[in-house]
Amino acid sequence: MAHSHQHSHQDSLGERPLLWSLAINFALSVFQFVAGFISGSAALVADALHNTNDAAALVVAFVAKRISRKRANSKYTFGYRRAELIGALIQLTALVIIGGFLIYHAIERFINPVPIESSWVILGASVALLVDLTTVGLLWATSKGSLNVKAAFLHNLTDAATSLAVLAGGALMLFFGWTWIDPLLTLGIAGFIIASSLKYLARTSRILMEATPEDIDLARVKEQAESLTGVNDLHHLHVWEIDESHRALEAHVVIYDDITHRQRDIKQQLKNLFAEEFDIGHSTLEFERASEACGGKNAKLVPAQ
């Protein structure tokens, strides 16, 4: 009970930064929309749309985090842990789409340059940079161990870099009139957003597709299991991740006919091996006698001499 209470308390603390981040990002979007319409700056309106997407991403992160805390039941026997992964998938996909839109927008600006009110760009970028850095600070600790919150953290980290670049670009436009710097910066920022997002998108997709963890070598798992005394063969082997912190394994274990009475001991040895060597906390093992094995290599009926 004490452990459960502590875990719940930590989860509620983890949600607080998301709520604060959500509030200040929505406020930033409103400010940038107002500033963009007053100045007639398309760049500020575009950035406002970007920050609105950030706020929406934080809503997704918050809702997914709340859902992931629900306990397992007869319908979802592994619980709702993957809700955060779905949240991350939505956010990262949105980032890639936004990156593509920014590239299109930058190319269009190269072809058809427009006048830019650089003073409003500097003001908008300064406020956005302050908000983005505040959000990054709020999400830093919570992002560890959660791809969902990490995606929101990445979202705002890229925004901080964007705001800093736009601020520098606004200064160059104000003092030197270099309007071409705006689409050039946009291209660089879009490339960074897409590259960073694809990295986490690949990780998230691997978990959702129940791929073998990247650091797990199935041949090595099989070899070490078969090195235990009494284990003749390991087949139908599957290892996957339930979420970022939990791994599962299932396999058929063939043991020699004359030591079937040691099945319980062998099972415990295998579970300890998987947990200690491969960080697999949940393993389901089906045992077979060597004379009745359903598959794998040609089983021997007695131990090799």
Residue in 219, 200, 203, 223 with CA at minimum distance from that of residue 211: 203
Pair 158, 88: CB distance under 8 Å:
no
Residue 12 host element (H or E)? helix 2-39
User: How is residue 261 annotated by DSSP?
Assistant: G
Whether pTM exceeds 0.85: no
- Across the range 97-123, mean pLDDT stands at 81
Q: Mind listing the domains of the chain with CATH numbers?
A: 2-208 (1.20.1510.10), 218-292 (3.30.70.1350)
Question: What pLDDT, on a 0 to 100 scale, did the predictor assign at position 273?
Answer: 95
CA atoms of 254 and 75, how far apart (whole Å): 32
Greater model confidence, 222 or 55:
222
Structure tokens at 25: 């990002």
Q: Is the pLDDT of residue 167 over 90?
A: no
Q: Is the pLDDT of residue 41 over 70?
A: no
Q: Is the pLDDT of residue 302 over 70?
A: no
CA atoms of 95 and 85, how far apart (whole Å): 15
User: How is residue 262 annotated by DSSP?
Assistant: G
3-state secondary structure of 233: strand
- Across the range 20-37, mean pLDDT stands at 77
CA atoms of 287 and 253, how far apart (whole Å): 5
Q: Which amino acid is at 262?
A: R
CB burial class (10 A; 0-12, 13-18, 19+) of residue 6? exposed
Structure tokens at 51: 């920050």
Give the range with max mean pLDDT: 13-22, 107-116, 207-216, 265-274.
Answer: 265-274
- Helical residues (DSSP H) of 82-228, grouped into ranges: 83-111, 118-143, 147-176, 181-208, 218-226
Half-sphere exposure of 113 (CA within 13 A, CB side): 11
Half-sphere exposure of 273 (CA within 13 A, CB side): 19
3-state secondary structure of 62: helix
Q: Is the dihedral of CA 91, 96, 101, 105 positive or negative?
A: positive
What is the residue whose two structure tokens read 């070598």? Answer: 217
Pair 253, 266: CB distance under 8 Å:
yes
Q: Tens digit of pLDDT for each residue in 66-76? A: 777 788 888 88
